[in-house]
């Protein structure tokens, strides 16, 4: 806002809030920002360069905060983290050529996890398009399979309509990333900007969306007759903002809830009906409950291979109800009996008034028996044998932050340990790369989350491998003076790969031992405080120090090197055929044998 005041004398007067309410002649660059302002954008993540320079030149006239990233992949991940933390569209800006191609991993990550982001890239002038001009790359061609939609804009008057449509496409239906590639001359030329006139046409009807009374009745019949029902809670609950409805469904019909990784924060961890995370690293009772279920109600989840195990043996006795907004997900992996295709919240609001209360206590008791004493066992009270296990770190971090922090995890073992031991009660409090499994995601995504939610405590939890993929963004944290705490789970290996080598490749640890810099010194080089933790007893005090410190803080947790994530379903095995925790491990199996 101060920028606009400073430039009050500017004859363009583009920061006038009335600009979006009446048609004005603007350059394409100004149109870009004015449209973003009109769409409610306050923060963008980007990196300037030749083909996007006209846009950067006009930025100072607009009330938009620009966060300079260190690599464009970071910009896409930040926009992604921003969107996940806030539910608003994240925006990333890059120049043509390498700037644009560097975005691709971040865009693919947002695509696989259905995250609404809009990426704006500069493009060479329309006169030289297709001539292999300097820093020219066909980014709409490259990103075609990893965006929901993309646009190549070569005329100034098309900028606002393309951007406005991009925002709608990103957020509508099943959300996803959209890229808008704007040529340099389109940014430089001018045209009449009319925000209202640039609004997209009404959305086309989708004939495959179907949640009619017949299907609703079939679903209700299945639910009424169910003896062993389980709700499968997915990411779609957050997208559809259907948390209340899913909770009502679970409580009224007394149905236990199993969560996908991205659905973990869609249902409170402390809720008595919450079983926990399902799938490859889900606890045994969760997966066993799914395998024994007679009715599964899938809410905004897509039966990903990481949650089903072998498809031929998946929940063989269960009738499946699938509530899903994307018709392409119906019967993709798992054949379902009733498909309710539409917005989850709307479908549940139709279904819930017709759903009678029911009692499911024999089934709930049976699941509790499977848990054994696990739910009451507190790993914090296990004797300290001198070893620092990652699970300790997650548990203590959860306790110290009261489960209130936004935790942004990278990909690998630490990601699974976090999912197992940090109990999330608040929606959107876990941000993690699920579908693409993008190492290097955590640090930039946390920056996005912190910018979106400056009042929230934000923790990065990353492995020593993934952290180094994007650790240059420490500079961004320093430059933007962001109060982000960083926990590196340092085991000297690419841990999850090492675990697979241990289990499935005869412990041939090929290329997984990893030399890392002294992360505390690396932080110090950026003016960020840090500390090493090597003992269990130091975890709590160091976490407390990080939390009370004004500004970013990095903790390098030197954990047990060859620890593995249990339980684990080897890929291709049935959901209940899991590798259990070895009994000699101090963090023994947290459930009795099922």
Partner 1 sequence: MLHTFVALVEDKPGVLTRVASLFRRLNVNITSLTVGNTERESISRMTIVADAAEDRAHRIMASLYKLENVLEVDDVGRQSAVVRELALLKVVCTPQTRADLFQLAEVFHARIVDLAPESLMLEITGSASKIEGLVQILVQSNHKILEMARTGRMAMRRGHHTSRVVEALSDATPRTESALAGKPKLVALDLIAQEDHA
Question: Which residues are the active-site residues?
Answer: 72, 134-135, 184, 496
Tokens of 485: 């705490």
CA atoms of 510 and 533, how far apart (whole Å): 28
Distances (CA, A) of 581 to 16, 275, 523, 553, 592: 62, 18, 35, 33, 11
Q: Which of residues 240-259 bind partner 1 (CB under 8 A)?
A: none
CA atoms of 175 and 188, how far apart (whole Å): 31
Q: Which is nearer to partner 1, 151 or 519 (CB)?
A: 151
Q: Which of residues 302-331 bind partner 1 (CB under 8 A)?
A: 326-328, 330-331
Q: Which of residues 158-197 bind partner 1 (CB under 8 A)?
A: 169
Q: Which is nearer to partner 1, 168 or 247 (CB)?
A: 168
Q: Which of residues 512-551 bind partner 1 (CB under 8 A)?
A: none
Query: C-beta of 207: minimal distance to partner 1 in Å?
Result: 6
Query: C-beta of 303: minimal distance to partner 1 in Å?
Result: 13
Cis-peptide, bond into residue 567, ω within 30° of zero:
yes
Q: Which is nearer to partner 1, 328 or 369 (CB)?
A: 328
DSSP for 446-495?
A: HHHHHHH-TTS-EEEEEEHHHHHHSGGGHHHHHHHT--EEEEEEE-SB-H
As a residue count, the chain comes to 594
Query: C-beta of 143: minimal distance to partner 1 in Å?
Result: 11
Q: Are 377 and 353 in contact (CB under 8 A)?
A: no
Is residue 353 part of the contact set for partner 1 (CB under 8 A)?
A: no
CA atoms of 302 and 530, how far apart (whole Å): 40
Q: Which is nearer to partner 1, 21 or 131 (CB)?
A: 131
Is residue 332 part of the contact set for partner 1 (CB under 8 A)?
A: yes
Q: Which is nearer to partner 1, 162 or 250 (CB)?
A: 162
CA atoms of 528 and 577, how far apart (whole Å): 45
Q: Are 62 and 33 in contact (CB under 8 A)?
A: yes
Burial class (CB in 10 A: 0-12, 13-18, 19+), 245: buried
Is residue 8 part of the contact set for partner 1 (CB under 8 A)?
A: no
Q: Which is nearer to partner 1, 110 or 169 (CB)?
A: 169
Is residue 145 part of the contact set for partner 1 (CB under 8 A)?
A: yes
Query: C-beta of 169: minimal distance to partner 1 in Å?
Result: 6
Query: C-beta of 240: minimal distance to partner 1 in Å?
Result: 17
Is residue 144 part of the contact set for partner 1 (CB under 8 A)?
A: yes
CA atoms of 364 and 271, how far apart (whole Å): 13
Is residue 140 part of the contact set for partner 1 (CB under 8 A)?
A: yes
Is residue 148 part of the contact set for partner 1 (CB under 8 A)?
A: yes
Q: Which is nearer to partner 1, 5 or 201 (CB)?
A: 201
Query: C-beta of 112: minimal distance to partner 1 in Å?
Result: 13
Distances (CA, A) of 289 to 62, 258, 276, 496: 54, 9, 11, 26
Give the total of residues touching partner 1 (CB under 8 A).
21
Q: Which is nearer to partner 1, 145 or 362 (CB)?
A: 145
CA atoms of 93 and 103, how far apart (whole Å): 9
Query: C-beta of 63: minimal distance to partner 1 in Å?
Result: 30
CA atoms of 256 and 230, how far apart (whole Å): 5
Provide the mask over 201-220, with x wherever binding to partner 1 is found by CB under 8 A and - wherever it is not.
xx-xxxxx------------
DSSP 8-state secondary structure symbol assigned to residue 201: P
Q: Which of residues 457-516 bind partner 1 (CB under 8 A)?
A: none
Query: C-beta of 152: minimal distance to partner 1 in Å?
Result: 8
Q: Are 72 and 143 in contact (CB under 8 A)?
A: no
Reduced to 3 states, what is the DSSP secondary structure of residue 297? Answer: strand
Strands 117-123 and 178-183, sheet pairing: parallel
Is residue 152 part of the contact set for partner 1 (CB under 8 A)?
A: yes
**Residues of the shown chain interacting with partner 1 in the complex, contacts defined by CB under 8 A:** 140-141, 144-145, 148-149, 152, 169, 201-202, 204-208, 326-328, 330-332
């Amino acid at each position: 806002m101060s920028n606009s005041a400073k430039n009050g004398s500017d004859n363009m007067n583009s920061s006038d809030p009335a600009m979006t309410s009446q048609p004005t002649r603007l350059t394409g660059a100004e149109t870009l920002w004015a449209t973003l302002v009109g769409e409610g954008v306050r923060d963008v993540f980007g990196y300037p360069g030749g083909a996007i320079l006209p846009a950067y030149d006009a930025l100072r006239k607009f009330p938009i905060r620009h966060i300079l990233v260190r690599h464009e992949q970071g910009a896409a991940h930040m926009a992604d983290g921003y969107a996940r933390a806030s539910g608003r569209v994240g925006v990333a800006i890059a120049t043509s050529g390498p700037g644009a191609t560097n975005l691709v991993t971040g865009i693919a990550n947002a695509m696989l996890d259905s995250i609404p982001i809009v990426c704006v890239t500069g493009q060479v002038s329309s006169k030289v398009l297709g001539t292999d001009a300097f820093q020219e790359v066909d980014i709409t061609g490259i990103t075609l399979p990893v965006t929901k939609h993309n646009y190549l804009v070569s005329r100034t008057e098309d900028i606002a309509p393309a951007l406005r449509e991009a925002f709608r496409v990103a957020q509508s239906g099943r959300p996803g990333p959209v890229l808008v590639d704007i040529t340099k001359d389109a940014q430089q030329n001018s045209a009449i900007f009319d925000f209202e006139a640039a609004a997209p046409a009404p959305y086309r009807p989708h004939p495959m969306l179907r949640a009619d009374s017949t299907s609703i009745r079939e679903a209700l019949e299945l639910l009424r007759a169910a003896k062993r029902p389980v709700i499968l809670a997915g990411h779609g609950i957050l997208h559809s903002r259907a948390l209340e409805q899913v909770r009502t469904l679970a409580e009224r019909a007394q149905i236990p809830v199993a969560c996908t990784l991205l659905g973990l924060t869609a249902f409170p961890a402390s809720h008595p009906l919450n079983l926990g995370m399902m799938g490859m690293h889900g606890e045994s009772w969760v997966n066993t409950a799914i395998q024994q279920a007679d009715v599964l109600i899938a809410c905004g989840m897509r039966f990903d291979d990481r949650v089903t195990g072998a498809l031929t043996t998946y929940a063989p006795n269960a009738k499946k109800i699938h509530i899903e907004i994307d018709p392409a997900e119906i019967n993709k992996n798992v054949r379902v009996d009733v498909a309710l295709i539409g917005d989850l919240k709307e479908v549940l609001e139709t279904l819930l008034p017709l759903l009678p209360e029911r009692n499911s206590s024999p089934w709930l008791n049976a699941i509790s028996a499977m848990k054994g004493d696990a739910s009451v066992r507190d790993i914090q009270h296990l004797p300290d044998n001198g070893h620092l296990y990652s699970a300790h770190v997650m548990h203590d971090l959860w306790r110290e932050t009261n489960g209130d922090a936004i935790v942004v995890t990278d990909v690998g073992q630490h990601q699974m340990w976090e999912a197992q031991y940090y109990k999330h009660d608040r929606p959107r409090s876990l941000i993690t790369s699920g579908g693409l499994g993008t190492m290097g995601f955590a640090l930039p995504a946390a920056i996005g989350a912190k910018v979106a939610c400056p009042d929230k405590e934000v923790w990065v939890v990353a492995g020593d491998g993934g952290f180094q993929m994007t650790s240059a963004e420490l500079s961004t944290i320093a430059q933007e003076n962001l109060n982000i705490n960083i926990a590196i789970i340092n085991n000297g290996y690419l841990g999850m790969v090492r675990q697979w080598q241990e289990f499935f490749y005869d412990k041939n640890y090929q290329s997984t031992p990893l030399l890392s810099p002294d992360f505390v010194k690396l932080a110090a080089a950026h003016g960020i405080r840090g500390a090493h933790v090597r003992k269990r007893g130091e975890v709590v005090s160091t976490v407390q120090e990080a939390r009370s410190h004004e500004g970013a803080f990095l903790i390098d947790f030197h954990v047990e090197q060859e620890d593995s994530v249990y339980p684990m379903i080897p890929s291709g095995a049935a959901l209940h055929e899991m590798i259990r925790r070895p009994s000699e491990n101090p963090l023994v199996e947290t459930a009795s044998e099922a």
